[in-house]
Amino acid sequence: MVSDEEITRQLTALVRAKTGDPSARISALTTLPGHAGQSYSFELETGSGATATCERLVLRLAPEGVRPVGTADVVRQARIMKSLSGTAVPVPPVRWLDDDPAAFGRPYFVVGFVQGDKLAMGEREYPPDVQRRFARSIVEKLAALHAVPWEPRRAVWGDPRPLLEEMQRFDALLDRPLLDPKTTVGSAELRERLRATMPSAPRIGCVHGDFQWSNSLCAGEGVQIVIDWELAQIGAVLIDLGWLCMFSDRKSWVDQSLIPPHAPSPEALADLYRKSVSWPVTDADLRWFRAFAGYRFGSITAFNLMLHRRGKRPDPTWEDIALSSPLFFERGRELLG
């Protein structure tokens, strides 16, 4: 892990080059939580005297020692956020991005800092009515994302990913060796049922890929910013709604700390979504995508727990999440009957 002193040195050189101010200063460097790469907030001071300015920014670095592809491709994430600028989807304002490793030895981006709090594991305990207002705003922003025209953004987001191909990505995780068999109980049965009942013509659009309570920062009247675009794609938009529903479904979790205490039920979330979009959402499709969410997260959990235990990607939080892994698959089978 690169030291804070080295990051400060590298960041100071970068901002002086970008701003053209040889005396630009970095202060209040703070490590931010996250799993895919390193993130820091910092204060940038430029000018002096009456012309002095200070702004708070965020630096995101690709993970050390990892090829910058997939979830590690931080520059793609920045370009996706830039592609949503000016839409109804609030994203951080992108200041700088670069694939060139010259500045930090790996790709990076810098965005403006936006103040907000997460409903799940937030620093503040909001009253029930505020939580419900924020939840409604989160669903409305999800609907807004799915209404964004995807065709003009194809060059940045990529070609539409067929639903079968999306499922096969997670099949591959479950087929890896060395997984703890306790975490995959019931996965084969759910896989078979999902394949047999897969929607034939799902609505295609911009998909966040990890749209859950911790990836929207809220304040005031609602969502201030949507973050963490590592899994963004063009695909079946109900992937996102099913995912959010899973993070509100108490039957899917042993440890329910990821669910805000006053979050709407999955059924209520679906009703809010239906009121916010102009296309139909059938109960059958919603059940399938909720079940698919359990399959996706069960696969991710089993795989990441294996990486953690082998010391490849240490993160003890997966030990706690893995307690729910069999429930993800069981709940999926239940939803599909």
Q: What's the CATH number where 233 sits?
A: 3.90.1200.10
What pLDDT, on the 0 to 100 scale, is given for residue 113?
A: 96
In this prediction, residue 49 has a pLDDT band, given cuts at 50, 70 and 90, of confident
What pLDDT, on the 0 to 100 scale, is given for residue 61?
A: 95
| Per-chain mean pLDDT for the chain | 94
In this prediction, residue 60 has a pLDDT band, given cuts at 50, 70 and 90, of very high
Angle at 77 between CA 286 and CA 4, to 5 degrees: 125
When pLDDT is averaged across residues 155-183 and rounded to a whole number, the result is 97
- For residue 191, pLDDT beyond 60: yes
- For residue 35, pLDDT beyond 60: no
- For residue 210, pLDDT beyond 80: yes
Asked if 163 and 238 touch (Cβ cutoff 8 Å), the reply is no
The answer on 302 and 231 residing in a single domain is yes
pLDDT tens-place string over residues 129-157:
999 999 999 999 999 999 999 999 999 99
The answer on 218 and 91 residing in a single domain is no
- 3-state per-residue secondary structure call for 268-301: HHHHHHHHHCCCCCCHHHHHHHHHHHHHHHHHHH
What pLDDT, on the 0 to 100 scale, is given for residue 71?
A: 85
In a domain, 25, yes or no: yes
In a domain, 121, yes or no: no
Task: Choose one of 50, 84, 112: the last residue of a domain.
Answer: 112
- For residue 122, pLDDT beyond 60: no
When pLDDT is averaged across residues 276-298 and rounded to a whole number, the result is 98
What pLDDT, on the 0 to 100 scale, is given for residue 257?
A: 79
Angle at 194 between CA 148 and CA 235, to 5 degrees: 15
What pLDDT, on the 0 to 100 scale, is given for residue 256?
A: 82
The answer on 272 and 141 residing in a single domain is yes
In this prediction, residue 309 has a pLDDT band, given cuts at 50, 70 and 90, of very high
Beta-bridge partners for 234? 206
Q: How many CB atoms lie within 10 A of CB 271?
A: 14
Amino acid at site 249: D
What pLDDT, on the 0 to 100 scale, is given for residue 59?
A: 97
Tokens standing for 195?
Answer: 């394949």
The answer on 201 and 84 residing in a single domain is no
Give the integer Cα–Cα distance in Å for 224 and 185: 39
What pLDDT, on the 0 to 100 scale, is given for residue 1?
A: 73
Give the integer Cα–Cα distance in Å for 161 and 234: 6
Give the integer Cα–Cα distance in Å for 153 and 80: 8
The answer on 103 and 147 residing in a single domain is no
- % residues pLDDT > 70 (the chain): 98
pLDDT tens-place string over residues 220-242:
999 999 999 999 999 999 999 99
Asked if 242 and 283 touch (Cβ cutoff 8 Å), the reply is no
In a domain, 47, yes or no: yes
- Window from 37-51, 75-89, 184-198 with minimum mean pLDDT: 37-51
Task: Choose one of 80, 112, 144: the last residue of a domain.
Answer: 112
Between residues 126 and 231, the one the model is more confident about = 231
In a domain, 232, yes or no: yes
In a domain, 256, yes or no: yes
What pLDDT, on the 0 to 100 scale, is given for residue 66?
A: 82
Amino acid at site 181: P
The answer on 132 and 217 residing in a single domain is yes
Q: How many CB atoms lie within 10 A of CB 97?
A: 19
When pLDDT is averaged across residues 4-31 and rounded to a whole number, the result is 96
The answer on 150 and 58 residing in a single domain is no
In a domain, 120, yes or no: no
In a domain, 234, yes or no: yes
When pLDDT is averaged across residues 257-273 and rounded to a whole number, the result is 92
What pLDDT, on the 0 to 100 scale, is given for residue 90?
A: 98
In this prediction, residue 121 has a pLDDT band, given cuts at 50, 70 and 90, of low
Between residues 8 and 255, the one the model is more confident about = 8
Residues of the domain holding 71 = 4-112
What pLDDT, on the 0 to 100 scale, is given for residue 73?
A: 94
